[in-house]
């Protein structure tokens, strides 16, 4: 069962921790907001993705299982 | 070292861990304010501020636990387990120990909700986390009143330094908040800044 | 026949085999407002089905899709809300916050009882006892509808309660989650989904939000059946739809047309039209030559990057400067951002300023590259489709007005000096604009 990342743009305050912890999937745009390279999380990055989700101060990064 | 009984050792341990807890909680408060307002510590990546805030808060809880345990175990003063959580239940210095109980209750609420953050949702978590602004001053009051330690000498200076640190962080946050543009006017603000630039 | 600058005209596509045209359906053939007795005379009594769910198969079979712009199949929405398991709420969305659109206001003025019938039938179909009529902020219309509602109530016609709520005067007021927010007492700003409104909306209950025109069609399907509804239009896009048509001379009209009607029949295309905007300020620009050959349907318009949407058609005269029009609207769209999402609140004003520069003389060389980059940063990164729609408007305009861009780069403008063409509501307003006093 693979995992998908989503960003809640209303909650997101551009803190930027997600991009530091998951640079393979998340980069910051010129205003400091996260850009998702892809929604799919490769199995090797699942732990880092969960860590990024837990560290977002605004709880704006979401990880869900894909049915 | 003659004259130090096990009772005295427990009493000293409780006071010492209490002081360390206060310092750690001060650091946690300042770091928490920095995280919220996206402040940075020079040289450290963003996740370090959050990581330190989280790790130091868990470390602080550990020291508070030892502080509380040694205080109860100490035969010299009667505090009792109930007084740890219930204010005014302690026969010894009811008010000051009671403040400690209040602060501990608040800290437990903060830690538990933070550990269960993903499950309780953003809004509930944020609402409870505001209690941090109450828990620190209460902990400080408890520290000053429960024993004479912080009321003079170098430890008074330490208490003053902690107070300055938290007051400074809160003041910094307050002025940032006052300068925050309300949501409905943010786009207009970007537009006028663009008009100036181009 | 004109009312406040908007005239009523009826259009339809000729049917092969000489069958009688089934138009108009929603708008009154005699152009007069239908009172309750006349309405019941013409269409018969309100055909309640006697229980929840019974109307839904007819609606599904009819192929009715939402007429608010998103064209979502109504049968599927009804099923989802009915299946949600808790007491649902139905919202009739008449906010019509698109400045170019007047069809909902016109429908509510001339055939309000069709809308109110549809609202009751939808409520019965999903098992709702509470409904909300969410209206564009127009005191006269609101008072008129409140009067009609009390007439229906005293006549024993309505079974579900109808609360009238005014929509704040913002472009996003008509957005589904923003409407729910307003009804719940908040500001007209969208919410992050999930949960979708059909799962959790007004008062936390499953909520069915339907455009008022959709409900009017539903009221007719309940009486005349799915086969009747499919009698005009195309096989994939059956039925009729209301269109707001703004001609190049500035006049505007609301017409009812069958899906698949050629745009030529609706717009006329006199020689001096340079481009057509299909779908309002979240829609797409088409060059006049191409638009002339297309039909009013998703099948006809999607290959050209547009869609039938809520039936908004505007013909831009050759005398207007496409870039200046775009710049003005883009600024309006930027100021109408809810300001909740970083990419939208940062990107839209920068794009608007760049377009303003482009519409001036000898714009900077990097403006187009900036526009491209920002458009890419803004699309798909908001909680709602405001940035996406705005970028559709901007990108299509940059293509259609490419020639005008080249002229401006050489210091010329092919347009004649004149008044602004596309209507943009005045002023950014204040924080209070986002909420309505109750």
- Chain A environment of C347 (Cβ under 8 Å): 31
The phi and psi torsions of C207 (rounded to 5 degrees) equal: -130, 130
Domain covering C28-229: architecture: 3-Layer(aba) Sandwich (3.40)
For chain B, the first-to-last Cα distance in angstroms comes to: 76
User: CA of C25, closest CA in chain B: separation in Å?
Assistant: 41
Residues 137-196 of B with CB under 8 A from C: 182-188, 190-191, 194-195
* A neighbours by CB contacts (3+ pairs under 8 Å): B, C
Residues 354-393 of C with CB under 8 A from B: 357
User: Residue ranges of the alpha helices (H) in C200-260?
Assistant: 212-224, 226-229
CB-CB under 8 Å, B187 with C339:
yes
Confidence (pLDDT) at C429: 55
**Alpha-carbon distances, residue C293 vs C16, C239, C269 (angstroms):** 20, 21, 11
Instruction: Give the range among B163-177, B178-192, C346-360 with minimum mean pLDDT.
Output: B178-192
Q: Please give the Cα distance from C45 to C340 (Å, whole number).
A: 46
Confidence (pLDDT) at C10: 55
CB-CB under 8 Å, B45 with A59:
no
Say which residue the tokens 């707001």 belong to.
Answer: C244
Closest chain B residue by Cα to residue C357: B198
Suggest the residue from A6, A9, A12 to mutate for an interface test with chain C (most C CBs closer than 10 A): A9
Over residues B79-87, mean pLDDT: 83
CB-CB under 8 Å, B50 with A20:
no
CB-CB under 8 Å, C377 with A9:
no
Decide if B120 touches A, using CB distance below 8 A. no
Decide if A50 touches B, using CB distance below 8 A. no
What's the number of CA atoms in the CB half-sphere (13 Å) around residue C176? Answer: 25
Task: Please tell me which of the candidates C189, C338, C357 has its beta carbon nearest to residue B198.
Answer: C357
Decide if C343 touches B, using CB distance below 8 A. no
Decide if A23 touches B, using CB distance below 8 A. no
Q: Please give the Cα distance from C279 to B18 (Å, whole number).
A: 67
A8 pLDDT more than 80 = yes
CB atoms within 10 A of CB C424: 18
Residue C49: which residues within 8 A CB-CB, separation 6 or more? Answer: C55, C121, C124, C125, C222
Residue B169: which residues within 8 A CB-CB, separation 6 or more? Answer: B29, B30, B33, B34
pLDDT above 90 coverage of chain B, percent: 45
Domain covering C240-317: architecture: Roll (3.10)
The two most distant CA atoms of chain C are separated, in Å, by: 69
- Chain B environment of C346 (Cβ under 8 Å): 190
Interface of C with A (CB under 8 A): 191-192, 340-344, 346-347, 377, 381-383
Residues 11-50 of B with CB under 8 A from C: none
Task: Find out whether B71 and B14 touch, Cβ atoms under 8 Å.
Answer: yes
CB-CB under 8 Å, A32 with C341:
no
CB-CB under 8 Å, C431 with B185:
yes
Count the domains in chain A.
1
Q: Please give the Cα distance from C39 to C118 (Å, whole number).
A: 13
Task: Please tell me which of the candidates A21, A54, A57 has its beta carbon nearest to residue B35.
Answer: A57
CB atoms within 10 A of CB C49: 14
Closest CA to A34 of A51, A57, A18: A18
Question: Strand pairing partners for A63?
Answer: A5
Task: Find out whether B57 and A62 touch, Cβ atoms under 8 Å.
Answer: no
Decide if C262 touches B, using CB distance below 8 A. no
The phi and psi torsions of C352 (rounded to 5 degrees) equal: -60, -45
Q: In what order do the strands lie in the sheet with C252-258?
A: C2-3, C6-10, C252-258, C240-246, C312-317, C273-278, C284-287
Task: Find out whether C244 and C313 touch, Cβ atoms under 8 Å.
Answer: yes
Decide if A37 touches B, using CB distance below 8 A. no
Structure tokens at C317: 């005269």
Q: Please give the Cα distance from C27 to C193 (Å, whole number).
A: 35
User: CA of B134, closest CA in chain A: separation in Å?
Assistant: 20
pLDDT in tens, chain C (438 residues): 333 344 555 554 444 433 345 788 999 888 888 899 999 999 999 999 999 999 999 999 999 999 999 999 999 999 999 999 889 999 999 999 999 999 999 999 999 999 999 999 999 999 999 999 999 988 899 999 999 999 999 999 999 999 999 999 999 999 999 999 999 999 999 999 989 999 999 999 999 999 999 999 999 999 999 999 999 999 999 999 999 999 998 899 999 999 999 999 999 887 789 999 999 999 999 999 999 999 999 999 999 999 999 999 999 999 999 999 999 999 999 999 999 999 999 999 999 999 999 998 888 889 999 999 999 999 999 999 999 999 999 999 999 999 999 999 998 888 876 678 999 987 655 555 677 655
Q: Please give the Cα distance from C241 to C252 (Å, whole number).
A: 17
Question: Strand pairing partners for C256?
Answer: C10, C242
Written as one string, the DSSP assignment of C41-106 is: HHH-S----SSTTTTHHHHHHHT-B-SSSS--BHHHHHHHHHTT-S--EEEEEE----TT--HHHH
Q: Please give the Cα distance from B19 to C102 (Å, whole number).
A: 70
Q: Please give the Cα distance from A42 to C419 (Å, whole number).
A: 56
CB-CB under 8 Å, A21 with B125:
no
Q: Domain range for residue A32? A: 3-65
Confidence (pLDDT) at C417: 65
Task: Please tell me which of the candidates C340, C342, C383 has its beta carbon nearest to residue A33.
Answer: C342
Q: Give the number of B-C residue pairs with CB atoms closer than 8 Å.
A: 39
- Chain B environment of A11 (Cβ under 8 Å): 122
CB-CB under 8 Å, A54 with B122:
no
CB-CB under 8 Å, C343 with A31:
yes
CATH number (domain holding residue A45):
3.30.70.20
Closest CA to C28 of C44, C10, C1, C15: C10
Confidence (pLDDT) at C4: 37
Q: Please give the Cα distance from C118 to C162 (Å, whole number).
A: 12
CB atoms within 10 A of CB C340: 21
pTM for this prediction: 0.90
CB-CB under 8 Å, A17 with B46:
yes
Q: Please give the Cα distance from A13 to B114 (Å, whole number).
A: 19
Say which residue the tokens 């069962």 belong to.
Answer: A1
Residue B177: which residues within 8 A CB-CB, separation 6 or more? Answer: none
Task: Please tell me which of the candidates B182, B183, B190 has its beta carbon nearest to residue C349.
Answer: B190
Confidence (pLDDT) at B87: 85
CATH of C322-425 among 1.20.120.1200, 2.120.10.30, 1.10.3470.10, 1.20.1440.230? 1.20.1440.230
* C neighbours by CB contacts (3+ pairs under 8 Å): A, B
Q: Please give the Cα distance from B198 to A62 (Å, whole number).
A: 38
Decide if B176 touches A, using CB distance below 8 A. no
Task: Find out whether C254 and C27 touch, Cβ atoms under 8 Å.
Answer: yes
- Which residues in B173-188 are b (16+ Cβ under 10 Å) and which e? beeeeeeeeebbebbb
Decide if A59 touches B, using CB distance below 8 A. yes
Domain ranges of chain C: 28-229, 240-317, 322-425
Q: Which element (helix H / strand E) includes C180?
A: helix C176-183
CB-CB under 8 Å, C383 with A32:
no
> What's chain B's length in residues?
198
B154 pLDDT more than 70 = yes
User: CA of A54, closest CA in chain B: separation in Å?
Assistant: 8
The alpha carbon of C304 is separated from its chain's Cα centroid by a whole number of angstroms, namely 20
Confidence (pLDDT) at C18: 34
């Amino acid at each position: 069962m693979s995992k998908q990342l989503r960003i809640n743009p209303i909650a997101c305050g551009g803190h930027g921790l997600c991009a530091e912890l998951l640079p393979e999937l998340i980069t910051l745009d010129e205003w400091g907001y996260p850009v998702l390279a892809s929604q799919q999380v490769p199995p090797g990055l699942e732990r880092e993705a969960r860590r990024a989700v837990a560290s977002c101060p605004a709880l704006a990064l979401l990880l869900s299982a894909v049915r | 070292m003659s004259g130090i009984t096990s009772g005295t050792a427990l009493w000293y341990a409780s006071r010492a861990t209490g002081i360390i807890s206060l310092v750690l909680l001060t650091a946690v408060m300042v770091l928490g304010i920095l995280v919220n307002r996206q402040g940075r510590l020079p040289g450290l990546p963003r996740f370090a501020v959050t990581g330190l805030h989280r790790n130091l808060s868990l470390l602080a809880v550990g020291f508070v636990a030892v502080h509380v345990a040694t205080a109860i175990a100490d035969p010299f003063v009667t505090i009792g387990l109930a007084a740890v959580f219930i204010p005014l239940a302690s026969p010894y210095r009811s008010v000051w120990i009671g403040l400690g109980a209040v602060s501990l209750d608040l800290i437990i609420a903060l830690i538990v909700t933070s550990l269960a953050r993903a499950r309780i949702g953003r809004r509930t978590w944020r609402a409870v986390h505001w209690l941090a602004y109450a828990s620190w001053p209460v902990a400080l009051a408890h520290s000053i009143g429960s024993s004479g330690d912080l009321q003079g000498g170098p430890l008074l200076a330490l208490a003053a330094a902690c107070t300055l640190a938290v007051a400074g962080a809160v003041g910094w946050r307050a002025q940032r908040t006052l300068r925050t543009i309300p949501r409905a006017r943010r786009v207009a603000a970007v537009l006028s800044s663009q008009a100036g630039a181009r | 026949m004109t009312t406040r600058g908007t005239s009523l005209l009826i259009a339809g596509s000729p049917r092969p085999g000489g069958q009688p045209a089934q138009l108009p359906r929603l708008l009154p053939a005699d152009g007069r407002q239908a009172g309750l007795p006349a309405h019941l005379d013409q269409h018969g009594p309100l055909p309640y089905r006697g229980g929840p769910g019974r109307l839904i198969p007819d609606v599904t079979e009819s192929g009715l899709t939402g007429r608010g712009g998103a064209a979502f199949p109504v049968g599927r929405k009804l099923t989802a809300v009915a299946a949600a398991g808790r007491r649902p709420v139905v919202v009739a969305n008449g906010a019509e916050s698109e400045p170019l659109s007047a069809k909902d206001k016109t429908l509510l003025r001339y055939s309000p009882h069709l809308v109110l019938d549809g609202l009751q039938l939808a409520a019965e179909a999903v098992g709702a006892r509470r409904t909300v009529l969410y209206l564009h902020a127009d005191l006269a219309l609101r008072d008129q509808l409140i009067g009609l509602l009390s007439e229906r109530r005293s006549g024993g016609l309505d079974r579900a309660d109808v609360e009238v709520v005014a929509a704040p005067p913002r472009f996003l007021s008509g957005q589904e989650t923003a409407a729910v927010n307003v009804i719940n007492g908040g500001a007209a700003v969208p919410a992050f989904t999930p949960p979708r409104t059909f799962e959790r909306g007004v008062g936390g209950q499953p909520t069915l939000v339907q455009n008022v025109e959709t409900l009017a069609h539903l009221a007719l399907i309940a009486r005349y059946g799915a086969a009747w509804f499919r009698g005009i239009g195309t096989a994939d896009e059956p039925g009729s739809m209301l269109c707001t048509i703004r001609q190049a001379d500035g006049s505007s009209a609301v017409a009812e047309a069958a899906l698949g009607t050629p745009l030529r029949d609706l717009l006329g295309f006199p020689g001096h039209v340079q481009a057509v905007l299909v779908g309002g300020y979240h829609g797409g620009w088409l060059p006049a030559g191409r638009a002339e050959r297309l039909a009013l349907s998703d099948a006809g318009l999607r290959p050209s990057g547009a869609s039938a949407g809520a039936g908004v058609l505007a013909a831009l005269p050759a005398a207007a400067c496409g870039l200046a029009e775009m710049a003005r609207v883009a600024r309006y769209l930027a100021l109408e951002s809810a300001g909740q999402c970083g990419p939208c609140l940062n990107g839209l004003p920068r794009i608007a300023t760049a377009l303003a520069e482009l519409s001036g003389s000898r714009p900077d060389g990097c403006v187009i590259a900036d526009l491209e980059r920002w458009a890419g940063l803004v699309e798909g990164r908001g909680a709602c489709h405001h940035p996406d729609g705005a970028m559709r408007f901007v990108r299509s305009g940059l293509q259609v007005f490419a020639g005008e861009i080249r002229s401006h780069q050489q210091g010329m403008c092919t347009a004649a000096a004149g008044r602004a063409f596309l209507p943009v509501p005045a002023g950014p307003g204040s924080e209070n604009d986002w909420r309505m006093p109750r």
